[in-house]
Amino acid sequence: MRKFLISVFFILIIPVVVYAGFSFGLIKAAKKTGDKVDEKVAQRKASLLYAQTPTVPTNLTAIAVSSSQINLSWTASSDDVGVTNYKIYRNAGVTPIAMPTGTTYSNTGLTASTAYSYTVSACDGVGNCSGQSSAASDTTLPPIVGGEWVLVPGNLSLGTNDFYVMKYEAKNVGGVATSQADVTPWSYINHPTAVAACAALGAGHHLITIAEAQTINRNIEAQSANWANGIIGSLVSAGGGLKRGNVGITDSASYAGGAAEYGASRNLKAKLVLSNGEEIWDWSGNVWEWIYGTGAGGTLGAPDGVAFYATSAWYEWNSVTPDLNQERPVLGPSNSNWTGAYGVGSYYGGAPTKAPRRGGPWADGAFAGVFSFCAEASTSDSINTFGFRCGKSPDTQAPTVPTNLSAVAVSSSQINLSWTASTDNVGVTNYKIYRNGGVTPIAMPTGTTYSNTGLTASTAYSYTVSACDAVDNCSGQSSSASDTTPTPPAAGGEWVFVPGNSSIGTNDFWVMQYEAKNVSGIATSQAVITPWVNIDLSSSIAACSALGSGYHLLTIAEAQTVNRNIEAQTANWANGIIGSLVSAGGGLKRGNLSITDSASYIGATPEFGTGRDAKAKLVLSNGGEIWDWSGNVSEWIYGAGATGTQGTPGGVTFNTSGWYDWSSTSPDLSQERPLLGPSNSSWTSAYGVGKYFGGLTTNAVIRGGGWPDDVSAGVFTFNAFYAPSSSLVSNGFRCGR
Ligand SMILES: [Ca+2]
Ligand SMILES: [Ca+2]
Ligand SMILES: [Ca+2]
């Protein structure tokens, strides 16, 4: 660095002496070089400052909220200096799709009914990024039925809430009323058939009502863009007027005439806009559109209590003879001066039992328009100019409140929740889990179970759950359920929490994670040092009891609870398949060598340490890990007889002499198997489950098998050959509490 600066100095000085103007350029060049040096120093300092990469983001959730959007959220990462942003990856892509600074992201523009998978990584100020999180995925909702719709803001004075309306006149697409630009409108349809076609789209779909039609009408008339010259209340004769078609507004025929038209690219006068920017086509004409009145079956009736004047000709909306002052607020323009000369359309009344329609057809010239109304036709009439348009109520109904919430602590750091599914008028998309009265959900699972991990031992946790639909209408919170994480045993080293098994008659209990080790005479569950062997039954019982109140040598029922839990976990089978054969590369793992070896453990001496082959480790349903349960040293268990001898557990006299497979029928082990054998009566040692060796009721019971036992070792290995006073080099024990 110093040498470099000196050379810069010489480069600077010499030209200054020679020629000042020339040197000025060099000074500038040298200064640039100096900046680069400073930049490198700054980068090095920064990289020292940001020595650590951020932690990997956790609890990533992905929830589809529509046919085109999935919302992501995750738990913030931490960093020694600070997380500056996250990177979102989709479907295992290598390029992030987004780099938000917060812990949420909405991925829009997706395809309907399609599964998407996401991961997220956290980055700091110098671009150190964490590994990618666990993936979360969801499937976008099905496509919206009935084509394209626009949202219409509700109108309080007309008594309407927000609703959706078809953007285009309904088209007949395979018998399904569909709003799309292509295809000629669905015409030659009578009023009840139009009502049915809208209802057939599903819950909330209906033929547009009079109140909804007027909500759209009044919204349209208030937008200057819908007037031909941009001036609200202008006359057609002055080049203005409320647009009523796709040819020149001053023509007598609004539409080209002759036939109903379609296509989104034709004259934009066929398109009108709403106050929220939404666009609606052919509302001012093209084909008449049936609307749903207040009478029986959607006939005209007396909307808003107004008996619409039955005329036999067209009248302007400003007519006083007949007087349309009452009808105009219900379906006419807001300004009582606006006639057909303003492009708003005209009025043609009918009896309350007639079928109302609006907008006017392509052939009606000046009578067509946004406010054109006619109640002259019967409900059964269906001619070429009669079409329709559907409306849809937005989903405002929340799902039902989840019931039967249960919270069960399965370890000192985990509580499992489950509940009964909620129902919704459209569909429940996810649940929100709340803990200890918090206002922010801790998780948003899509199913009806959730495992809350990372909890503190000996602590009570309370939960509620609410159910949400696709537009985030959420139910109230359920009744709360709570449980307390259990307190791990204080003495005897490391323990594993075992869920009780009601069919075996056990409650939850703790078992030593490792075979007991002799640590200054105290039975201790730890990975290091060789197991405590050469110990008889009564000394094993005493060593466990010495740990304190509630501590005991593991019982037969507890051993079987662990056994049956282990056999039901795919991870404990060598090829991940429950009930697979050792000869096929499968089998219930029984040691730290390849499962196909005759000797599961290395042999010669018992082994220890957590770093060896993970086949010596088995997992429980709650994620707990237990070591050497399938062998290494045999383990005394507390029997049903006097002072822990075998006795007759479950009233069963265990058969004697020689190794037998648990499938044996001679001697018949069908009574013994439920008490200490595997659940499947065809599983032999060829499945890696171990073997059976009966004995006198006064003998003691050992389980699991020792390292010299070869194929006889295994999770379900049972041996009642030895007297309780036996003290063997391959035999240790394990405590429960
Ligand atoms: Ca129309
Ligand atoms: Ca709903
Ligand atoms: Ca063992």
DSSP-derived secondary structure for 544-583: HHTT-TT-EEPBHHHHHHHHHHHHT-GGGBTTS-TT--GG
Distance, CA 631 to ligand 3 centroid (Å)?
Answer: 4
Alpha-carbon gap, residue 696 to 539, rounded angstroms: 20
**Six token digits for residue 101:** 């600074």
Closest CA to 467 of 63, 113, 123: 63
Judged by its nearest atom, the ligand closest to the C-alpha of residue 473 is 2
Distance, CA 648 to ligand 3 centroid (Å)?
Answer: 24
Closest CA to 412 of 486, 519, 499: 486
Distance, CA 507 to ligand 3 centroid (Å)?
Answer: 23
What is the rounded end-to-end Cα distance, in angstroms, of the chain?
67
> Which class is domain 149-392?
alpha beta
Distance, CA 689 to ligand 3 centroid (Å)?
Answer: 14
Distance, CA 421 to ligand 2 centroid (Å)?
Answer: 14
Which strands, in side-by-side order, build the sheet including 731-733?
A: 659-660, 692-693, 718-719, 701-703, 634-637, 731-733
Distance, CA 289 to ligand 1 centroid (Å)?
Answer: 6
Distance, CA 581 to ligand 3 centroid (Å)?
Answer: 22
Judged by its nearest atom, the ligand closest to the C-alpha of residue 429 is 2
Give the amino acid at 373. F
Which residues touch 71 (CB under 8 Å, ≥6 apart)? 62, 63, 65, 104, 105, 106, 107
Judged by its nearest atom, the ligand closest to the C-alpha of residue 732 is 3
Distance, CA 183 to ligand 1 centroid (Å)?
Answer: 14
Q: Please state whether the peptide bond connecting residue 322 to the residue before it is cis, i.e. omega within 30 degrees of 0.
A: yes
Distance, CA 632 to ligand 3 centroid (Å)?
Answer: 5
Query: For ligand 1, a single-atom ion, which residues have Cβ within 5 Å?
Result: 282, 286, 289, 359
pTM above 0.95, yes or no: no
Judged by its nearest atom, the ligand closest to the C-alpha of residue 370 is 1
Q: Tokens 């600077």 label which residue?
A: 12
Distance, CA 345 to ligand 1 centroid (Å)?
Answer: 12
> Which class is domain 403-484?
mainly beta
Neighbours of 189 (CB within 10 A): 22
Judged by its nearest atom, the ligand closest to the C-alpha of residue 590 is 3
Distance, CA 516 to ligand 3 centroid (Å)?
Answer: 9
| Cβ proximity of 619 and 411 under 8 Å | no
Q: Any bridge partners for residue 279, and if so which?
A: 273
The dihedral over CA atoms of 715, 716, 722, 723, expressed in degrees to the nearest 10, equals 100
**Six token digits for residue 567:** 């056999």
For domain 495-736, the CATH architecture is Alpha-Beta Complex (3.90)
Distance, CA 17 to ligand 1 centroid (Å)?
Answer: 88
Closest CA to 393 of 122, 142, 134, 211: 211
User: pLDDT tens digit string along 19-47?
Assistant: 333 333 333 443 444 455 455 555 555 55
Judged by its nearest atom, the ligand closest to the C-alpha of residue 629 is 3
Alpha-carbon gap, residue 283 to 371, rounded angstroms: 9
Distance, CA 731 to ligand 3 centroid (Å)?
Answer: 8
Distance, CA 425 to ligand 2 centroid (Å)?
Answer: 5
Alpha-carbon gap, residue 128 to 125, rounded angstroms: 7
Neighbours of 324 (CB within 10 A): 25
Helix (H, G, I), strand (E, B) or coil at 242: strand
Judged by its nearest atom, the ligand closest to the C-alpha of residue 426 is 2
Judged by its nearest atom, the ligand closest to the C-alpha of residue 706 is 3
Distance, CA 399 to ligand 2 centroid (Å)?
Answer: 6
What are the residue ranges in the chain where pLDDT is below 70?
1-49, 142-144, 246-254, 256-258, 593-600, 602-604
Can you give 250-262 as a three-state secondary structure string? CCCCCCCCCCCCC
Distance, CA 426 to ligand 2 centroid (Å)?
Answer: 5
Helix, strand, coil percentages for the chain (3-state, nearest 5): 20, 25, 55
Alpha-carbon gap, residue 442 to 434, rounded angstroms: 6
Distance, CA 729 to ligand 1 centroid (Å)?
Answer: 94
> Quick one: 58-139 is in which CATH superfamily?
Immunoglobulins (2.60.40.10)
**Six token digits for residue 534:** 């050469």
Q: Give residue limits of the domains in the chain.
A: 2-49, 58-139, 149-392, 403-484, 495-736
Distance, CA 730 to ligand 3 centroid (Å)?
Answer: 9
Judged by its nearest atom, the ligand closest to the C-alpha of residue 291 is 1
| Cβ proximity of 282 and 262 under 8 Å | no
Distance, CA 280 to ligand 1 centroid (Å)?
Answer: 10
| Cβ proximity of 353 and 300 under 8 Å | yes
**Six token digits for residue 285:** 């004409």
Q: How many residues does the chain have?
A: 737
Alpha-carbon gap, residue 723 to 698, rounded angstroms: 7
Distance, CA 536 to ligand 3 centroid (Å)?
Answer: 15
Dihedral (CA of 317, 320, 322, 325) sign: positive
Alpha-carbon gap, residue 413 to 622, rounded angstroms: 10
Give the amino acid at 38. D
Alpha-carbon gap, residue 500 to 410, rounded angstroms: 10
Q: Tokens 């499938």 label which residue?
A: 663
Alpha-carbon gap, residue 263 to 182, rounded angstroms: 5
Q: Tokens 């020629």 label which residue?
A: 19
Alpha-carbon gap, residue 235 to 343, rounded angstroms: 8
| Cβ proximity of 500 and 513 under 8 Å | no
Distance, CA 187 to ligand 1 centroid (Å)?
Answer: 11
403-484 and 495-736, same CATH topology:
no
Q: What is the pLDDT of residue 597?
A: 63
Dihedral (CA of 561, 564, 566, 570) sign: negative
Distance, CA 347 to ligand 1 centroid (Å)?
Answer: 16
Distance, CA 145 to ligand 3 centroid (Å)?
Answer: 62
Judged by its nearest atom, the ligand closest to the C-alpha of residue 511 is 3
Angle at which helix 20-49 crosses helix 2-18, to 10 degrees, equals: 160
Instruction: Give alpha helix (H) positions in 427-502.
Output: none
Distance, CA 304 to ligand 2 centroid (Å)?
Answer: 29
Q: DSSP letter string over 136-193?
A: EEEEPPPPPTTB-EEEE---GGGT---EEEESS-EEEETTEEEE-SSS-B--S--HHH
Judged by its nearest atom, the ligand closest to the C-alpha of residue 636 is 3
Q: What is the pLDDT of residue 223?
A: 98
Query: For ligand 2, a single-atom ion, which residues have Cβ within 5 Å?
Result: 395, 397, 424-426, 469, 473
Distance, CA 351 to ligand 1 centroid (Å)?
Answer: 23
Distance, CA 664 to ligand 3 centroid (Å)?
Answer: 24
Distance, CA 585 to ligand 3 centroid (Å)?
Answer: 22
Distance, CA 169 to ligand 3 centroid (Å)?
Answer: 76
| Cβ proximity of 342 and 236 under 8 Å | yes
Alpha-carbon gap, residue 298 to 355, rounded angstroms: 7
Judged by its nearest atom, the ligand closest to the C-alpha of residue 387 is 1
